Amino acid sequence: MTNQPPTPVLWPQQATLALALTFDFDAESLWLANNPRHHALPAVLSLGKYGARVGVWKILELLRQEELKATFFVPGWTAEKYPGHVEAILKDGHEVAHHGYTHDAPDPINPNMVRDELERGIAALEKISGYRPRGYRPPDGVSSELSLRLLTEHGFLYNSCYKDHYLPYRHILADGTPGPVELPEQPTLDDWAFGSSSLSAPRPLFGKEHVLGIWRDEFRELYSWGGLFMLVMHPQVTGRPLRLATLREFIALTRQFPGVWTATCSEIAEAFVAQE
């Protein structure tokens, strides 16, 4: 793959670009995994709790209004704490995918931990949703040969966290075995970089026009390339008023371009597999 120029993907419906709206529904799990002290700091946990109390519901409402389907990556811990949210996501026709169990990064130095996090997450999502997740996005974007091998072992269709392309591609494991399809991300298309700040992780916050300008320019260029445009969002970030308004305006912008295919991650991965 690296020795050849990119091979275009023929998107369904003769589309020019594939658009994926994805949401990492972490709730408190992200903050609990980041620092054990957060267990005793409810104000810190409230940042994540907002995603469950408000963010998911506002996002589902917007997606219904816009008649769009999305993919929600959910840690097993979050699914167990908020099963009604998972059921509501599925009821609206969205995809629920795997995002670890506790939101601990899958460190390959501890292979038992990596396997346990994956398998506990599968079990939790399967119990609550009634079906086995087909996609995976590792917490903190931490991936390894071990993770890809375990995904292959458990029959996952796709992974999503690498940032080395603008089109889907197939992972090849070290032994030459085909691994999962990769749905790559772009660093500038993650809401966390622009809309989240805390005492433990301070960063500047950016207004709507700033974020919308970046998304617009990325979209226009990727549209001319015929690529995959994947927004990585979090209900605790994009579910807040300013960020939801930004997403609403961005969706309106995309509708000015003909041939945009908005789909779930599984649908996009399937479209790639169909022409491998």
Which domains are delineated in the chain? 12-273 (3.20.20.370)
Mean pLDDT of the chain: 92
How far is Cα 3 from Cα 21, in angstroms, rounded to an integer?
30
Question: CB of 98 within 8 A of CB of 120?
Answer: no
How far is Cα 151 from Cα 195, in angstroms, rounded to an integer?
31
- Nearest CA to 44 among 174, 201, 172, 163? 201
For range 37-47, the mean pLDDT: 74
pLDDT at 55 over 90: yes
pTM of the model: 0.94
Give the pLDDT band of residue 204 (cuts 50, 70, 90).
low
pLDDT digits (tens, 9 = 90+) for 88-133: 999 999 999 999 999 988 988 999 999 999 999 999 999 999 999 9
How far is Cα 139 from Cα 30, in angstroms, rounded to an integer?
8
Q: Say what the alpha-carbon torsion angle 33, 36, 41, 47 is, to the nearest 10 degrees.
A: -10
> What is residue 21's predicted lDDT score, i.e. its pLDDT?
99
pLDDT digits (tens, 9 = 90+) for 222-263: 999 999 999 999 999 999 999 999 999 999 999 999 999 999
CA 193 centroid distance within chain: 14
Give the pLDDT band of residue 60 (cuts 50, 70, 90).
very high
- Nearest CA to 233 among 120, 99, 117, 100? 99
Higher pLDDT, 39 or 73: 73
For range 155-173, the mean pLDDT: 97
